Amino acid sequence: MSRWQYRKGLHDIGHGCFAYLQPDGSWGWSNAGLVTDGDQTLLVDTLFDLPLTAAMLKTMREAVPAARKIGKLVNTHANGDHTFGNQLVEGAEIIACRECAKEFAEAPPSMLVAFETGWKTLGDGGAFFHEVMGSRFDWRGVVPTPPTTLFDKTMEVTVGDKRLHLTHLGSAHTRGDILVHVPADRVLYTGDLLFAGGHPVIWEGPIGNWIKACDYILGLDVDVIVPGHGPISEKPAVRELKSYFEYIAREARTHFDNGVPAGVAAEKISLDRFAWLDPERIVINVASLYREFSGSKEPLSRIALFAAMKKYRAAHAHAHAGHAHSHVPR
């Protein structure tokens, strides 16, 4: 059993490090972090809309007086559930890697608003998007607020006397994922390089890079790991994620080599070992793997994949009933 309770809100990890969690960690329900030293603060990520981010900032300011003025904001990657609240952290230096900054314009809030407004015209893909995200978040009023300070591979930032290491290990979940490491406190904020208790999403890959990122994390001297989604974790969660990637890569490669279509392969790959939230994401992951195996550079069609995930979820609803919260400590 984890020593951390998985409940919504701010969790004091110790030594001026905090995690803000949003159970159950499914589609759009992301985590954030706060690092403080004296009167200096750094925020790790914002949330998927303005009301959620405003509520988080209010909670932080009430619990941690220094958070009334946040000097630095790090975006671990460009996905909206980690960036759409950026505009509310007024005056902060926003830090990210260069690849993250390039991705900011690729899925702007206006695109999600358009999907949600017209979801009934988008078939099963629109229906699934509405079910898992559009009906749960409010993207009105979100103004794209990209990073202002960029780096390529590594960057050191200070928060008071604390030194934080930011590291971009290459394309994996997205093209611009970074780790935020607080060495003195043995704390790591992973963004979506770690999904804990939920199936990950390979929007970019290659999967080998993500496996290498898992190995990199396992080699760090850290005790507490705050994932992008899911409960506060430790290294066993990283080992499990690595084993998932190794498993699906082997399975998908076999199906690819045998000429099995990607959608059929996703249905055939057993996920019994990984009783996590959102198993339908295997559809995206196999599509990404097939794109990688074929050498294609074509972007994934999100609406088509959402339609396929709706079908997958319906077909597997009974098999995964009861697993939805199996990762939540009781």
Flag whether 125 is in a domain.
yes
Asked if residue 249 is part of any domain, the answer here is no
Number of domains, the chain: 1
Is the residue at 305 inside a domain? Answer: no
User: pLDDT band at residue 329, thresholds of 50, 70 and 90?
Assistant: very low
Residue pair 328/197 in contact (Cβ under 8 Å)? The answer is: yes
209 part of a folded domain: yes
Tell me the angle at which helices 207-218 and 235-257 cross, rounded to the nearest 10 degrees: 160
Q: What is the structure's pLDDT at 330?
A: 25
Percent of the chain whose predicted confidence (pLDDT) is above 90: 92
Is residue 164 domain-resident? Answer: yes
Report the SS3 class of residue 128: helix
Q: Could you tell me if residue 244 is inside a domain?
A: no
Q: What CATH number does the domain containing 66 carry?
A: 3.60.15.10
Residue 93 lies in a domain: yes
Distances (CA, A) of 31 to 6, 81, 88, 137, 245: 11, 9, 17, 15, 22
Answer positive or negative: Cα dihedral of 96, 100, 101, 105. Answer: negative
The model's pTM = 0.95
- Tell me if 3 is assigned to some domain: no
pLDDT band, residue 105 (cuts 50/70/90): confident
What would the mean pLDDT of 147-152 be, rounded to a whole number?
A: 97
pLDDT digit string, tens, across residues 115-138: 999 999 999 999 999 999 999 999
According to the model, what pLDDT value does residue 318 have?
A: 65
When pLDDT is cut at 50, 70 and 90, the band that residue 2 belongs to is: low
| Under 8 Å between Cβ of 77 and 100 | yes
Q: Is 247 in a helix, a strand, or coil?
A: helix
The domain containing residue 43 runs over which residues? 9-234
